[in-house]
């Protein structure tokens, strides 16, 4: 019998931890990008590693592993992979009657299907510590190869970069920092809006954010609204403040990392307690409660991508996140996770749904998306959650 006080307290802690997690992720990603820019790191590489990357998921998995809860870490990885496709990508399809995908999307989805297959085969064949280490190293190497290859293709203009799910979900939190992080000119200047647009389209019209050059801006206003705004304002006063010192951004980066660590501990501990109170196994808690909550930013980006009719960004964000999960997060899980828990901590049903999700997005990208497909995917995700909860026996105790 679940204790009501304990259950309510841990649910409240879980929700508070989610807010702190998003705050920490925003701080960490934004200021990592700024520090990298100051150190002359390639903007393409920075964009790839900060956009569509599940850094908060990685921290949650590491914290769960530190608590000897490999089941919940694995459940979170599997559940997030399924949720990103069936519950996030599907939301974007609901806003488009018909979606055609470009070459970038086809490359991304093909890579995801291959890497998901490799991850699941390694998981199913998990035997002994030596093989476990080999599998983990193989997945991390695959992540490095993926980053280098995709960064090269993005730099040459062959691929579309992933969208930043964390910053877009909370774009107004750090406007003070973002406004002062431009390293271009130090003098104030006045620009005539009509004259400045004659030579070339503005950054906003091209879909690039002026304060974060590596990010595609899904939150830009519609073209007709932009025209009206230009008519109302003849001149725009652009004030470039002096860039803040490097130590400020290093401090903010450390603050974000600390928030990530603290929030991940709160989330992992409270989720584990909630699962225990409800007699759910650690794996089921990870595949349902934890994964559903930690993929909320991806759902937000998918909705914006669908509303703005940018299917390529939807695919890049969804697939990029999942590749990050099955390679880097999967590698960490294999190396530091408990082999016996990993072997018994998942079912063939969960592995099958994860693989079929990758097959579904691959098929949709190749054939074209329709609104009804999004509805079917959402129904499938709800069915997955129901089956998981109904079968959520205490596997850890068996």
Check whether residue 320 and residue 268 sit in a common domain. Answer: yes
Domain count, the chain: 2
pLDDT (0 to 100) of residue 375: 95
Environment class of residue 390 by beta-carbon count within 10 Å: exposed (0-12), middle (13-18) or buried (19+)? exposed
Domain endpoint, select from 211, 238, 265: 238
- pLDDT (0 to 100) of residue 372: 95
Tell me: do 333 and 192 sit in the same domain: no
CATH assignment at residue 122? 1.20.1420.30
Whether residues 148 and 265 share a domain: the answer is: yes
Cβ neighbors of 210 (< 8 A, separation 6 or more) are 182, 203, 204
Compute CA distances 192 → 187, 231, 240, 283, 322, whole Å: 16, 11, 16, 58, 44
- Does 286 share its domain with 148? yes
Residues 213, 259: one domain? no
149 and 218 together in one domain: no
CA gap 153, 258 in Å, rounded: 33
**Would you state the pLDDT for residue 210?**
37
Does residue 264 share a domain with residue 200? no
Q: Give the range of the structural domain holding residue 313, as residue numbers without chain letter.
A: 4-168+246-397
In-domain check, residue 175: no
User: Distance between CA atoms of 235 and 245, rounded to whole angstroms?
Assistant: 31
- DSSP category for residue 237: E
Same domain, 214 and 252: no
Q: Are residues 161 and 254 in the same domain?
A: yes
Report if residue 268 sits inside a domain: yes
Rg (CA), the chain: 22
> Which among 238, 255, 281 is the end of a domain?
238
Task: With respect to residue 263, please indicate whether it lies within any of the assigned structural domains.
Answer: yes
Q: How many CB atoms lie within 10 A of CB 223?
A: 10
pLDDT tens by residue, the chain, 398 residues? 557 888 899 889 989 988 888 888 778 778 877 887 787 766 556 655 655 557 778 888 998 898 888 888 999 999 999 999 999 999 999 988 888 898 878 888 999 999 999 999 999 888 666 778 899 999 999 999 988 887 777 777 666 566 555 544 444 444 444 444 444 434 444 444 444 444 444 444 333 343 443 344 444 444 554 555 555 554 555 555 677 888 888 898 888 888 877 887 888 888 888 888 887 877 788 888 888 777 777 777 788 778 888 888 788 778 888 999 999 999 999 999 988 888 877 889 999 999 999 999 999 999 999 999 999 999 999 999 999 888 864 444 44
Co-location of 113 and 216 in the same domain: no
User: Which of 222, 238, 254 is the C-terminal boundary of a domain?
Assistant: 238
Q: Within a 10 A sphere around the Cβ of 226, how many other Cβ atoms?
A: 15
pTM over 0.95: no
- Residue 280 maps to a domain: yes
Q: Is 370 buried (19+), middle (13-18) or exposed (0-12) by CB count in 10 A?
A: middle
Do 269 and 334 belong to one domain?
A: yes
Residue 184 is predicted with a pLDDT of: 40
Beta bridge partners of 235: 192
Q: Say whether both 148 and 275 belong to one domain.
A: yes
């Amino acid at each position: 019998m679940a204790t009501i006080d304990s259950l309510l307290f841990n649910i409240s802690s879980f929700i508070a931890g989610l807010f702190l997690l998003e705050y920490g992720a925003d701080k960490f990603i934004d200021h990592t990008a700024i520090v990298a820019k100051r150190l002359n790191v390639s903007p393409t590489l920075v964009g790839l590693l900060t956009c569509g990357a599940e850094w908060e998921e990685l921290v949650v998995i590491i914290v769960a592993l530190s608590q000897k809860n490999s089941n919940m870490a694995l459940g979170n990885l599997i559940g997030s992979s399924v949720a990103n496709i069936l519950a996030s990508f599907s939301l974007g399809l609901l806003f488009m009657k018909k979606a055609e995908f470009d070459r970038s999307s086809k490359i991304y989805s093909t890579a995801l299907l291959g890497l998901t297959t490799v991850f699941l085969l390694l998981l199913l064949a998990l035997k002994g510590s030596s093989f476990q280490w080999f599998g983990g190293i193989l997945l991390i190497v695959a992540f490095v190869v993926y980053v280098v290859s995709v960064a090269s293709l993005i730099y040459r203009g062959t691929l579309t970069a992933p969208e930043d799910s964390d910053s877009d979900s909370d774009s107004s939190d750090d406007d003070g920092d973002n406004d002062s992080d431009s390293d271009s000119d130090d003098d104030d200047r006045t620009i005539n809006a009509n004259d400045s647009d004659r030579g070339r389209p503005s950054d906003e019209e091209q879909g690039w954010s002026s304060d974060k050059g590596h990010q595609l801006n899904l939150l830009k206003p519609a073209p007709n609204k932009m025209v009206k705004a230009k008519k109302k304002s003849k001149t725009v006063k652009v004030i470039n403040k002096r860039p803040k010192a490097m130590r400020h951004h290093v401090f903010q980066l450390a603050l974000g990392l600390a928030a990530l660590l603290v929030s991940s501990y709160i989330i992992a501990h409270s989720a584990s307690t909630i699962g225990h109170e409800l007699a759910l196994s650690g794996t089921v808690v990870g595949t349902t409660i934890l994964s559903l909550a930690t993929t909320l930013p991806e759902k937000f980006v998918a909705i914006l991508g669908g509303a703005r009719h940018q299917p390529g960004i939807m695919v890049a964000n969804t697939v990029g996140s999942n590749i990050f999960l099955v390679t880097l997060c999967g590698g960490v899980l294999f190396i530091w996770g408990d082999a016996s828990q990993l072997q018994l901590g998942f079912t063939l049903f969960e592995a099958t749904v994860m693989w079929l999700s990758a097959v579904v997005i691959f098929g949709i990208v190749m054939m074209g998306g329709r609104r009804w497909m999004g509805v079917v995917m959402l129904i499938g995700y709800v069915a997955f959650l129901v089956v998981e909860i109904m079968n959520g026996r205490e596997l850890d105790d068996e």
